[in-house]
């Protein structure tokens, strides 16, 4: 039959075993001597044997009491360790949080967020997965990520998602391209231009197809996976590229110009978590910090420097 022994009984037993005096043990346990005596009797009844030899002059452990003392101290240590560990998690001194994010976010604003998070909670381990939209959601679905920063799409409907920002689009071209002299570019002005596209599986491409609409732009024949590849193709005059503002950092090392696209259509960036699972305290703190930074404006720091470096038109 399982024993029904409370931690209070264990603390009373250890106090009496160490102090070998009912009055002093009762004082340590903040109880009366008679109450302590009742607790010891109850414990002995649960164990099924006497744990103490006691007379008018002394209190001593029985051989069985000596054995039980070792187990009792171990149990108390485990209980205290469990509460200390939980206190650390509650205070965010320990724990872990995992984020999945689009490469454009993982390379620009998230490092700043993670650095601030680690300053506030140095004991919490943070991991970052940089992936396209669908893989971000797959990581979230599998429980490999607590939060995802990704573009809007139909697969996001199964999650708890909120919009953090709307990412406007830019036309990136060489400095000697006719479009480079413009302050803004309308989608219709891309008629006849050869476009270097990102892969059809990317969130960027899906928005670009909407932006172009009926614009008679020409296909350069390049559908690439990586922004760095697109930048290299544009640099060699093989076309122009239509990309969101948060990706402009990929073009800053090249002598290119980025001109704002005049359109109300923007790429929504979502902060996503699972509907069926509560966040850990560490993950909740990360979510709150991301929202805090978002309210202050995502386009500071690294990304703004990148945009300024590659264009005087933005």
Mean pLDDT of 210-236: 87
Q: Give the separation between CA 78 and CA 10, rounded to whole angstroms.
A: 12
What's the pLDDT at 175? Answer: 93
Q: Give the separation between CA 278 and CA 104, rounded to whole angstroms.
A: 27
pTM of the model: 0.66
What are the angstrom distances between the C-alpha of 174 and each of 128, 229, 239, 259?
33, 15, 9, 11
pLDDT digit string, tens, across residues 217-226: 888 888 898 8
Output DSSP code: residue 217: P
- Same fold flag, 95-166+268-298 and 169-260: yes
pLDDT digit string, tens, across residues 256-291: 999 999 998 899 999 999 998 888 888 999 999 999
3-state secondary structure of 5: coil
The CATH class given to the 95-166+268-298 domain equals alpha beta
CA–CA–CA angle 290, 296, 298 (5° rounding): 65
Considering the domain 7-90 in this protein, what is its CATH number? 1.10.10.10
Per-domain boundaries in the chain: 7-90, 95-166+268-298, 169-260
The CATH class given to the 169-260 domain equals alpha beta
Residue 133 tokens read as: 């939209």
271, β-bridge pairs: 149, 162
Phi (first) and psi of residue 23, to 5 degrees? -65, -45
pLDDT digit string, tens, across residues 28-50: 999 999 999 999 999 999 888 99
pLDDT at 160 over 50: yes
3-state secondary structure of 256: strand
Output DSSP code: residue 49: S
Q: Give the separation between CA 63 and CA 259, rounded to whole angstroms.
A: 86
**Strands 124-130, 95-101: parallel, antiparallel or unpaired by DSSP?**
parallel
Share of the chain above pLDDT 70, in %: 90
Contacts of 66 (CB under 8 A, 6+ apart): none
Phi (first) and psi of residue 262, to 5 degrees? -80, 95
Residue 286 tokens read as: 């990360």
Phi-psi map region of 53: left, alpha, beta (phi>0 left; psi -120 to 50 alpha): beta
pLDDT digit string, tens, across residues 87-117: 666 655 668 899 999 988 898 889 999 999 9
């Amino acid at each position: 039959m399982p024993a029904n022994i409370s931690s209070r009984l264990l603390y009373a037993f250890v106090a009496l075993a160490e102090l070998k005096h009912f009055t002093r043990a009762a004082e340590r346990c903040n109880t009366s001597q008679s109450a302590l005596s009742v607790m010891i009797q109850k414990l002995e009844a649960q164990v099924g044997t006497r744990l103490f030899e006691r007379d008018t002059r002394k209190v001593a452990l029985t051989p069985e009491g000596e054995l039980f003392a070792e187990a009792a101290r171990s149990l108390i240590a485990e209980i205290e360790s469990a509460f200390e560990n939980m206190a650390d998690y509650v205070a965010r001194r320990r724990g872990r949080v995992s984020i999945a994010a689009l490469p454009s976010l993982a390379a620009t604003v998230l490092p700043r967020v993670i650095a601030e998070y680690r300053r506030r909670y140095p004991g919490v381990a943070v991991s970052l997965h940089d992936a396209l939209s669908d893989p971000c959601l797959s990581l979230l679905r599998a429980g490999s990520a607590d939060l995802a920063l990704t573009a809007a799409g139909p697969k996001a409907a199964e999650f708890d998602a909120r919009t953090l920002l709307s990412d406007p689009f830019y036309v990136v071209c060489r400095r000697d391209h006719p479009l480079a002299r413009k302050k803004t570019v309308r989608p219709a002005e891309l008629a006849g231009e050869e476009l270097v596209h990102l892969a059809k599986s990317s969130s960027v491409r899906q928005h670009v197809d909407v932006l172009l609409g009926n614009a008679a732009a020409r296909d350069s024949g390049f559908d690439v996976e990586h922004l760095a590849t697109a930048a290299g193709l544009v640099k060699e005059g093989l076309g122009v590229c239509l990309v969101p503002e948060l990706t402009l950092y990929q073009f800053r090392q090249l002598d290119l110009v980025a001109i704002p696209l005049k359109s109300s259509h923007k790429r929504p960036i979502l902060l996503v978590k699972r509907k069926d699972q509560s966040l850990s305290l560490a993950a909740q703190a990360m979510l709150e910090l991301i929202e805090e930074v978002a309210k202050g404006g995502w386009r500071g720091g690294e990304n703004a420097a990148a945009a300024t470096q590659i264009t005087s038109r933005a």
